[in-house]
Structure 1
Amino acid sequence: MIPTKLSVNLNKIALIRNSREGNYPDLIAHGRTCLEAGADGLTVHPRPDQRHIRAADIPDLTTLLSHWPEAEFNIEGNPFAPSLGTYPGFMALVAEHPPHQCTLVPDSNDQLTSDHGFDLTQAGQRLTPIIRQIKDLGVRVSLFMDPDVDQIERASDLGADRIELYTGPYALAHRHAHSDLAQLLERYRTAAERARELGLGVNAGHDLNLDNLAQFLRVVGAAEVSIGHALTVDALAMGLTPAVAAYRQICQTPIR
């Protein structure tokens, strides 16, 4: 099985920082620690309300990643998000500081967190020029998607490079040991298999943790997972470096 790359989402570190004035905890220092611990990249999801990652963080993170040529910077967000205060708008932010990968997510300002993939029957026409614009910057485009084969085929038609499977439902079923867990995993496996047949890379993310990650990767596989909330919680008990190492070990050698 090909090892999965681990991208650490820094949003929760930024959220803690934003609860006080100043720069404590230092986001860049913690990002550096993640990379030194073996993370394959860093992920951020800047929203217009800047409740965690701020637009002003992006240049410093870009500079940090430049010192790790093997690591990637993944910027997530709603491509339709307009400017608001010091937030320049998602597309303007990406154009000014092109990352290695841009993961487009259909979240809104009033969502606590991302909780569904794109419905490309509705959003496809608006996304087509956006995907082209981002790819013209030399940036890989990934679309946040539910495990729906029909929708994934539409993602291929739009010219996306990858999809990121929204794994929230899987994590919930795993936590409560739902009887339909095996059936749900089969949906993810089928969706991922179809994506790969179409030439799409497959990423995954949302509520993946040390308990459920190995089974998902063993059954479904992924080129990359982005993990932030659970990893940050584990870091409170384990320390950040051991937490990154624990997730990376699963990504490198999923338990069989």
Structure 2
Amino acid sequence: MHTRLSVNINKIATLRNARGGNNPNVLKAAIDAQLFGAEGITVHPRPDERHITYKDVREIKPIITTEFNIEGNPSEKKFVDLVLEVKPHQVTLVPDASQQLTSDHGWDTIKHKAFLIDIIGTFKKAGIRVSIFVDPDVKMIEAAANTFTDRIELYTEGYARLFAAGHPLKAIKPYIAAAELANKLKLGINAGHDLDLHNLAYFKKHIPHLDEVSIGHALICDALYLGFENTIQLYKRQLQTEA
């Protein structure tokens, strides 16, 4: 199964915002990522707009020739309104607090079932594919199917941490169980957070039904040394690993 690489360009915007102005140019980064082989562009506008701004999101959509994925917390009305206005190909729902540094947990799909059913229905009615951020917990995966989401995105920080500590089998085990159940429940499977050139191929090899990975921080860091085009190609190569 072919797995798509969606490049998260938030860190490009972080660098731009550090000095103001428009250098580096976020729109050019989105265009170039596509030209260099990215099969999706991901952005995560936060309420404080500390990296990608709402203006960026509106300006990126018309220049996207591949998939556009917007991540964010749907409890923020401003975010919901933006997604319904821009109509990306996919919206990924994350349960981040407003001032959270980065995503660090998935949805409790049991506790928040009613809320998720309502907001997922709103986005799907607008023709937007929905993915929800979840931990590799079979109970959460099973409950996710009851929200009528199209996909789940497996939160992979736990995998990356154990893999780096030299425990790849222990790292991947809960993700295999989660992915097998998701596939059985006919949920699409995305993954993201701390995936990099060291751990991505192993993850892909063991999760055969993987639709998409969204990678930003590690990829942009690698691009500083390896070049943007070369880095995107290197990441895509990791996804060619067969089970």
TM-score when scaled to structure 1? Answer: 0.92
- Matched-pair contact (CA < 8 Å) for 1:43–1:75: yes
- Matched-pair contact (CA < 8 Å) for 2:107–2:135: yes
- Matched-pair contact (CA < 8 Å) for 1:105–1:143: yes
Instruction: Give runs of aligned pairs for residues 50-61 of structure 1, distance below 5 A.
Output: 50-61=49-60
**Pair 1:226-2:214 in alignment:** yes
Distance 1:81 1:50 in 2: 13
Question: AA paired with 2:97?
Answer: S
- Matched-pair contact (CA < 8 Å) for 1:141–1:161: yes
Q: Alpha-carbon deviation of 1:255?
A: 6.8
Instruction: Give runs of aligned pairs for residues 26-37 of structure 1, distance below 5 A.
Output: 26-37=25-36
From 242, 247, 250, give the equivalent of 2:235: 247
- Matched-pair contact (CA < 8 Å) for 1:105–1:144: yes
Distance 1:172 1:10 in 2: 23
| Amino-acid identity (%) | 48
Distance 1:73 1:206 in 2: 18
Runs of 4+ in 1 over 2 A off after TM superposition: none
From 139, 142, 152, give the equivalent of 1:150: 139
Residue of structure 1 equivalent to 2:69: 74
Q: Alpha-carbon deviation of 1:42?
A: 0.1
Q: Alpha-carbon deviation of 1:126?
A: 1.3
Distance 1:132 1:230 in 2: 33
What residue ranges of structure 1 are gaps of 5+ in the alignment? 83-88
Residue of structure 1 equivalent to 2:194: 207
SS in 1 for 2:19: coil
Residue of structure 2 equivalent to 1:163: 152
Distance 2:110 2:191 in 1: 22
Distance 1:213 1:28 in 2: 27
Q: Alpha-carbon deviation of 1:17?
A: 0.5
What residue ranges of structure 2 are gaps of 5+ in the alignment? none
Deviation sequence 1:175-224 (CA, Å, 0-9, x none): 1214xx41331210110010011110000000000000000000123110
Deviation sequence 1:209-254 (CA, Å, 0-9, x none): 0000000000123110000000000000011010111111112x12
- Matched-pair contact (CA < 8 Å) for 1:4–1:224: yes
Question: AA paired with 2:145?
Answer: S
Distance 1:8 1:60 in 2: 17
Residue of structure 2 equivalent to 1:85: none
Residue of structure 2 equivalent to 1:190: 177
- Matched-pair contact (CA < 8 Å) for 2:160–2:194: yes
TM-score when scaled to structure 2? Answer: 0.97
Q: Alpha-carbon deviation of 1:109?
A: 1.9
- Matched-pair contact (CA < 8 Å) for 1:215–1:255: no
Q: Alpha-carbon deviation of 1:110?
A: 2.6
Distance 1:198 1:122 in 2: 20
Question: AA paired with 1:124?
Answer: K
RMSD, aligned α-carbons: 1.1
Equivalent pairs counted in the alignment come to 242
Q: Alpha-carbon deviation of 1:13?
A: 0.4
SS in 2 for 1:138: coil
Distance 1:176 1:111 in 2: 26
Residue of structure 2 equivalent to 1:173: 162
